[in-house]
Structure formats: structure tokens, C-alpha cells
């Protein structure tokens, strides 16, 4: 005999029409039928990859999402089939996705762990434990900043409650009173680790007290109890009272994934939980209270199974993706110049690389002006980072913007790098255009998950249907005596990641024009700013303008040797070229300006002309961007014109030291460029 719902069930039910209660039972049966079907398909070898079933947890998905409005958002998990179905996702498109079909909800690019439907407010299932929590925070921030009457429901498992994202995310949502409901599906195990061994407190909900928000534990096998708790939390969030943490005690009948042998639990334990099956309980309760008959209940289950069978029949005949479409959807490209956002924001006549004029600004001032002009013209643009308000960031670049635009749009954060970036991702997915600042490039190592596994990948994983217009500003490089943990040049890491673009301006003119171009881009852009450049000065037009990504600049023409550089090395290369000219060696200096995409054509044309190529960057030579560029040139038509091997000049394979003489020796200086170019020009390599 199944126990029946107990938490004010009748009180909750009396507030709801019969049809809605029946729909909940149908949804639970639909989720169960869907997952039992895909389990069979995986067992038969008809589905690829892996899967994580939520059989036994249907009451949480249905009860929680029933408390939302259609335009509310959810973030989901790798165990997200039930969430997607309860949010209204098309069953056929889901099955097509799991079968790897072009008609899949993510065009066969995402699979079971990455189901998303942005039109229905599903911001995506997530293969990273706790990966959706920062994104939910960002979506909640976006709602607040846009003045919308929406809520975000953030699903995660008990294993995620021990992750840094959980603590960073709940804290940030709490201090900003964001409309986010955090729902922990405590199914007792994070793969094989039981919850009792993973925490020192009895309940996940107990942790809410640390963030000054309500916490509640509910019976996750009772759809009415889940609905009541989530509805209360959702109403609270809509009133502007901030987030709630709800822990739904539930159980997964199946293993963590299809490869889980379940050696960590007994059959008796599983059977005891199955005796409290949420579907059987709710069905029995509805019948006992006269909401439906036994025959009607059987018909609802049969209908759900028939819908899944019919959807599968159609999906199995759908076409598979074509190999020639492999790279579609990695980037959202705007072929127009100036880009659409620039034209909409500043007008169709916005200049592209206009004459620099005579007005001079520092590099930092040029960046600040670009941000101020963008923020003044588009309320969706905002800044987020540590100490960017009163102090203007670690280097004062955003100084004064908080006085002009207020703390809502120049948003100081706790020290929470991963959630800072994740908040940017969530905000970008939901209509905002965030500029995220790390105090130092080195600190992005603490945010690699949200940068590399989320920002870079969600568009492609979701079938090219997402846009993530996010700019991540990274002050990097040596020369300030900050030593090993505040002086790195990590740009090559991000060039390696599909879905990211990488920009590294060397002049104030380019700093402004490239930042506006990066803001206009619909993809996440890594914006590298060398710390030694902030005080350099140069001509900068006053009006908004763009410097296109992927277009290099010839800073000095020459005929004997080509020197390719970016960021601070451009200035050193130009100084080296002056010294070389005194010796009769004319070096052509090329400023790449952007590393991804990069302008191979300009480099090839110069290498063909001079026959000699020197590539300079501050990052260590081993694994640096120079290796990629050298390989590309060696594979191009320019190789036949080279009269000497390509030379790469990079930093030493050493963490940046504190001692000034050692720090200087760790990265290329002007004299190093002079010597390398001289030897190359004279074939003394």
C-alpha cells in the first residue's frame, strides 16, 4: 500500500481545478514513459553516449514547474529529461535529440545532458555539476535589471550542494535579493557518495541560514508538497523578497548513469523507496478523493505511453546531421560592418576605423569612454566585477562610471570569480550585454568552468540557438612587480577553445574601437589588456566607432623582415624597428590586434614580401600563440617565399618572478627583438 500525500495536500488541491491535477498526473506518466523508453533504446544500442535517468523523481519536476508561469526560466541538470518535459518541451524533438537527429531540440549537438529550449524558458540542462547555479543567478540579475515579472527556478542535485558554485551562487543571489528559487533534488547520492557522508549538517536546506534566506525540506515524492513549497518561494521571489533554498527529498531508482553498477546500495533500499513511488501515491490519492476513477487513471497512463511511442516512431525516421554542417552554430556571425548592434545603438553611420584625429587619451581612458558610450546608449550594457565601483577596478579603468550609471549597472561583487562570469553568461542568455572584469587575468583560472565549459559551448550545444554577447576583460602581463600569481599571459588558452573570440589591443585607438566591436559581437569575447598599456597615450576619436575583429594593422612598413606582435609587444617591436632602421634593416611591424579570429592574409602578404618572419609575444614560447601562427604560415603559400626559418620569440618557461631584473629577463624586451630580427635579417639564426 502506497502512503499518500500528507503536507497540506487537500488544502493545496482545493485551490486548483481538477483538470490541472489530472495534467500533473499525465506529465508524471509522460516523464516515466519517456525515460523507460530511452532506457530501452540505450540498452538496445540505438542511442549514443550516456544518459542519466530521473525515474522516481517525477514529482519534483512536475510539482516545481507547475508553480511557474510559462515565461519563467529554469536551469536544469544532466538529469534533466523530467524538467524539460514539465516545462513543455516537445517530446519528439527530445527523442530526436537523443537519437542524434537534425530535428532534435539541439540539432543532435547536445544530447541527453544538454537539452535546452530557450523559447520555453529552459536555459539548458548542464553536464557540469552545479554548472547551472551561476547561470541562474545571472538570469535572476537580468530579470531584476530589466524590470521583468519573472522568476528563475534552479534545479541541482545534492552533490552540487558541496560545490563552490552553490555557495557563491546562493550568496550572490541573497545579497542582491534576486528572484531565484534554488531547488536541490536530494536523491541521496552524488553518484556513489551518500549524502550522509558528504555533509556535516543533516539537511542541505540547513545551509540557507548561512545566506540569510529561507530554507525548507519537503517530501520530494509528493507532488503536492513540492508544488506548495515552490509556489510559496516563487511568490516570495516575485514580491522582490529574494531567493529561497528548497530541498526535495527524493530517490532515483536507476543508477547514476547507464554505466553505474550500483554497488553502493542494496536492493532492499531501492525497493523501500519504490514503495513510496510518487506516481502511484498521487494516483491513489486522486482516486481516493474522487478526482478520477481507476479507469480514467489507466487511460491517462496509456495516453502518455502512446504519445511517447508515436513521437519515437516519427523521430526514428528523421534525418541525421550532415558532416558538412559540422561547424555550423559555433559562432553567431554578423557579416555587416558596422555590426547590427552598433548600427542600432549608435546609428547606421557609425564609423569603421575612422582617422584617429588629434585628441589624445590614455589606453585606460579609451576603454572607459567606450564603456560609458555603450552604457549611455543601451541600458542592457552593464559592468560586473570586483571593486569596479569606488576603486574602478584594480587599475582604475572603470573609475567614475558608478557615479554616472549607478551601482545597479556598475555592479561590485563578492570575491566569486566563477559565479561572476556565470552571472554574465546567464544575463547574456536572457537579453543583457554584460562586461565582466577579472581583477587580474590570472584570476580567470578560478572561472574556467563558466568561461570554457559554459560561455564558449552553450551556443553550439544548444544547436546554434543561443547567443552569449559577453565581454570578459582580463588585465594581464608582467612588468608591475606583482610576481607569479598576478602577471600571467594566458591568451593562448582561450584561442584553443571553440566558441570564444580573443582580442588584444595595443593602442588607445584600438582599445576603444575593439571594445565596442566586442560588445557588438553575439559571442563571448576574451578582451586582453596588458597592464603596462593603461597609461600609454594616443589619438582617439570622440564619437563611437569600431575596429573590426580579425583585421590586423601594419604599424610600420618594411622590406627586410616581418615582425608580428600583439598587445604590449607591438610597442616594443616598433621601438626595435627604429633601432634596426639605424642599422639599415627595415622591419615591417604587424599588430595582430585580435588572435581569434586572426588576420592570416596580412601576415602572409608581409612574409611573402620580406621572406623572413619573426613572431613575438610575452607568454611563454612553449604553447604560445606564436606556434599556431608559425604553423599556419608554414602551411600557406607564403612558405615558398621564406628565405629563413620562422623565428618565435616568447617568454621563458618560468613563472613571472618578483625581482625586477629577473622579471624583465622572463619576457622579451626591445633588445631581444632587435637581436632576433638582426640575426634573422642577416641569416644568422
Give, rounded to a whole angstrom, the gap between the first and last alpha carbons of the chain: 85
Q: Is 167 a catalytic residue?
A: no
How far apart (Å, rounded) are the C-alpha atoms in residues 35 and 243? Answer: 31
CB 500 within 8 A of CB 448: no
Please pick, among 83, 486, 530, 617, the residue that the annotation labels catalytic: 486
Report the 10 Å Cβ neighbour count for 255. Answer: 18
C-alpha distances (whole Å) from 438 to each of 68, 188, 281, 448, 474 are: 35, 37, 50, 12, 6
Spatial CA neighbour of 166 closest among 422, 383, 384: 422
Q: At what angle do helices 363-377 and 508-520 cross, to 10 degrees?
A: 30
Summary count for the chain: helices (H), strands (E): 25, 23
* Residue 475: half-sphere exposure toward Cβ, Cα within 13 Å: 26
Q: Quick one: cell of 17?
A: 481545478
In terms of Cβ atoms closer than 10 Å to its own Cβ (0-12, 13-18, 19+), residue 636 is middle
Spatial CA neighbour of 380 closest among 336, 333, 435: 435
Collapsing DSSP states into helix, strand and coil, what is residue 148?
A: coil
Collapsing DSSP states into helix, strand and coil, what is residue 572?
A: helix
Phi first, then psi: give them for residue 465, nearest 5 degrees: -100, -5
**What does the radius of gyration of the chain's CA atoms come to, in whole angstroms?**
28
The answer for residues whose C-beta is within 8 angstroms of residue 269's C-beta and 6 or more apart is: none
How far apart (Å, rounded) are the C-alpha atoms in residues 677 and 614? Answer: 7
The answer for residues whose C-beta is within 8 angstroms of residue 167's C-beta and 6 or more apart is: none
How far apart (Å, rounded) are the C-alpha atoms in residues 154 and 423? Answer: 13
User: Cis omega before residue 338 (within 30°)?
Assistant: yes
Please pick, among 417, 529, 588, 663, the residue that the annotation labels catalytic: 417
Phi first, then psi: give them for residue 665, nearest 5 degrees: -70, -15
Percent helix, strand, coil in the chain, to 5, is 45, 15, 40
How far apart (Å, rounded) are the C-alpha atoms in residues 159 and 191? Answer: 8
Which H or E run includes 530?
Answer: strand 525-530
Task: Give the CA-trace dihedral at 260, 262, 264, 267, to 10 degrees.
Answer: 170
How far apart (Å, rounded) are the C-alpha atoms in residues 395 and 475? Answer: 8
In terms of Cβ atoms closer than 10 Å to its own Cβ (0-12, 13-18, 19+), residue 3 is middle
Q: Quick one: cell of 318?
A: 528523421
Strand bridging mode 360-362 / 537-539: antiparallel
- What length is written for the chain? 685
User: Cis omega before residue 597 (within 30°)?
Assistant: yes
Q: Is 417 a catalytic residue?
A: yes
**Active centre residues (catalytic):** 417, 486
Amino acid at each position: 500500500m502506497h502512503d499518500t500525500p500528507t503536507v497540506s495536500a487537500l488544502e493545496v488541491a482545493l485551490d486548483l481545478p481538477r483538470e490541472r491535477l489530472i495534467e500533473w498526473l499525465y506529465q508524471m506518466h509522460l516523464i516515466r514513459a519517456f525515460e523507460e523508453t530511452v532506457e530501452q533504446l540505450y540498452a538496445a544500442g540505438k542511442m549514443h553516449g550516456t544518459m542519466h535517468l530521473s525515474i522516481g523523481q517525477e514529482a519534483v519536476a512536475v510539482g516545481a514547474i507547475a508553480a511557474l508561469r510559462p515565461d519563467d526560466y529554469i536551469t536544469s541538470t544532466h538529469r534533466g529529461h523530467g524538467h524539460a518535459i514539465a516545462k513543455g518541451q516537445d517530446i519528439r524533438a527530445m527523442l530526436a535529440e537523443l537519437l542524434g537527429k537534425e530535428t532534435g531540440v539541439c540539432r543532435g549537438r547536445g544530447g541527453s545532458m544538454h537539452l535546452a529550449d530557450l523559447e520555453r524558458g529552459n536555459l539548458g540542462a548542464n553536464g557540469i555539476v552545479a554548472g547551472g547555479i551561476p547561470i541562474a543567478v545571472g538570469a535572476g540579475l537580468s530579470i531584476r535589471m530589466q524590470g521583468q515579472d519573472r522568476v528563475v527556478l534552479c534545479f541541482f542535485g545534492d552533490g552540487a550542494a558541496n560545490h563552490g558554485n552553490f555557495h557563491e551562487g546562493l550568496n550572490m543571489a541573497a545579497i542582491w535579493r534576486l528572484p531565484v528559487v534554488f531547488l536541490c533534488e536530494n536523491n541521496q547520492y552524488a553518484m556513489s557518495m551518500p549524502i550522509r557522508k558528504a555533509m556535516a549538517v543533516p539537511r542541505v536546506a540547513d545551509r540557507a541560514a548561512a545566506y540569510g534566506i529561507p530554507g525548507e525540506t519537503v517530501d520530494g515524492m509528493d507532488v503536492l508538497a513540492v508544488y506548495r513549497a515552490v509556489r510559496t518561494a516563487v511568490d516570495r521571489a516575485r514580491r522582490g523578497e529574494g531567493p529561497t533554498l528548497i530541498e526535495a527529498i527524493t530517490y532515483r531508482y536507476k543508477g547514476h548513469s547507464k554505466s553505474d553498477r550500483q554497488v553502493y546500495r542494496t536492493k532492499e533500499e531501492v525497493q523501500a523507496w519504490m514503495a513510496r513511488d510518487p506516481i502511484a501515491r498521487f494516483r491513489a490519492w486522486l482516486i481516493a478523493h474522487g478526482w478520477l476513477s481507476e479507469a480514467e487513471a489507466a487511460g491517462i497512463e496509456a495516453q502518455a505511453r502512446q504519445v511517447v511511442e508515436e513521437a519515437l516512431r516519427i523521430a526514428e525516421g528523421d534525418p541525421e546531421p550532415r558532416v558538412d554542417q559540422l561547424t555550423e552554430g559555433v559562432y553567431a556571425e554578423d557579416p555587416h560592418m558596422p555590426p547590427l548592434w552598433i548600427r542600432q545603438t549608435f546609428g547606421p553611420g557609425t564609423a569603421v576605423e575612422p582617422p584617429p584625429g588629434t585628441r589624445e587619451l590614455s589606453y585606460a581612458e579609451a576603454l572607459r569612454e567606450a564603456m560609458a558610450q555603450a552604457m549611455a546608449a543601451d541600458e542592457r550594457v552593464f559592468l560586473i566585477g570586483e571593486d569596479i565601483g569606488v576603486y574602478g577596478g584594480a587599475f582604475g579603468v572603470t573609475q567614475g562610471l558608478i557615479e554616472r550609471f549607478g551601482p545597479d549597472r556598475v555592479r561590485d561583487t563578492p570575491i566569486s570569480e566563477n559565479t561572476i562570469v556565470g552571472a554574465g553568461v546567464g544575463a547574456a542568455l536572457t537579453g543583457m550585454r554584460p562586461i565582466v572584469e577579472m581583477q587580474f587575468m590570472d584570476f580567470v583560472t578560478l572561472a574556467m568552468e563558466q568561461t570554457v565549459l559554459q560561455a564558449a559551448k552553450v551556443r553550439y550545444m544548444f544547436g546554434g540557438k543561443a547567443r552569449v554577447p559577453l565581454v570578459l576583460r582580463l588585465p594581464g602581463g608582467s612588468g608591475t612587480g606583482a610576481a607569479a600569481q598576478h602577471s600571467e599571459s594566458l591568451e593562448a588558452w582561450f584561442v584553443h577553445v571553440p566558441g570564444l573570440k580573443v582580442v588584444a589591443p595595443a593602442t588607445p585607438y584600438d582599445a576603444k574601437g575593439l571594445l565596442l566591436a566586442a560588445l557588438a559581437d553575439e559571442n563571448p569575447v576574451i578582451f586582453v589588456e596588458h597592464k603596462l598599456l593603461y597609461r600609454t597615450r594616443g589619438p582617439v576619436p570622440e564619437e563611437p566607432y569600431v575596429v573590426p575583429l580579425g583585421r590586423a594593422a601594419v604599424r610600420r612598413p618594411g622590406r627586410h623582415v616581418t615582425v608580428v606582435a600583439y598587445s604590449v609587444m607591438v610597442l616594443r617591436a616598433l621601438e626595435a624597428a627604429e633601432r634596426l632602421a639605424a642599422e639599415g634593416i627595415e622591419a615591417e611591424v604587424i599588430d595582430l590586434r585580435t588572435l581569434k579570429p586572426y588576420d592570416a592574409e596580412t601576415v602572409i602578404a608581409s612574409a611573402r614580401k620580406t621572406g623572413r618572419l619573426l613572431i613575438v609575444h610575452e607568454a611563454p614560447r612553449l604553447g604560445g600563440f606564436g606556434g599556431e601562427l608559425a604553423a599556419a604560415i608554414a602551411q600557406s603559400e607564403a612558405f615558398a617565399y621564406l628565405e629563413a626559418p620562422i623565428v618565435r620569440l616568447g617568454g621563458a618557461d618560468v613563472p613571472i618572478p618578483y625581482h625586477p631584473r629577473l622579471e624583465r629577463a622572463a619576457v622579451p624586451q626591445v633588445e631581444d627583438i632587435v637581436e632576433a630580427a638582426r640575426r634573422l635579417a642577416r641569416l644568422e639564426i
